[in-house]
């Protein structure tokens, strides 16, 4: 789905959200900065999803993820929580 130039996607709960920002590959620095934006997007959307579901346990977990030290497991948990699978984007 498109909303203007921004893509939108649906979470497992049915919420409509903006798709994550794209990761540009023109330079290493752009890719690194864009990957940080995607991590921040994932954490923020997982928090919003937990609030929507009134899931205090998951909300606490997601709020305590350190964006600078996010693990692959944490990323997989949030993707599964949002979309019902571990890796939404391959």
What local confidence, expressed as pLDDT, does residue 28 receive?
A: 94
- Provide the number of structural domains found in the chain: 1
Report pLDDT digits (tens) over 34-54: 999 999 999 999 999 999 999
Residue 23 counted as domain residue:
yes
- Looking at the predicted structure, is the pLDDT value of residue 6 above 80? no
Residue 29 counted as domain residue:
yes
In terms of residue numbers, what domain contains 52? 2-83
Residue 35 counted as domain residue:
yes
Residue 90 counted as domain residue:
no
The closest of 1, 3, 4, 6 to 21, measured between CA atoms, is: 6
Residue 37 counted as domain residue:
yes
d(CA 36, CA 39) in angstroms, rounded, equals 5
Residue 89 counted as domain residue:
no
Residue 48 counted as domain residue:
yes
Report pLDDT digits (tens) over 8-42: 999 999 999 999 999 999 999 999 999 999 999 99
Residue 8 counted as domain residue:
yes
């Amino acid at each position: 789905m498109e909303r203007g130039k921004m893509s939108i996607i649906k979470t497992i709960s049915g919420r409509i959200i903006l798709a994550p920002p794209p990761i540009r590959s023109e330079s290493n620095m752009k890719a690194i900065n864009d990957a940080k934006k995607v991590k921040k997007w994932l954490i923020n959307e997982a928090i919003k999803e937990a609030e929507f579901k009134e899931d205090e346990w998951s909300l606490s977990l997601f709020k305590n993820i350190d964006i600078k030290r996010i693990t692959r497991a944490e990323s997989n948990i949030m993707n599964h929580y949002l979309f019902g699978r571990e890796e939404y984007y391959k």
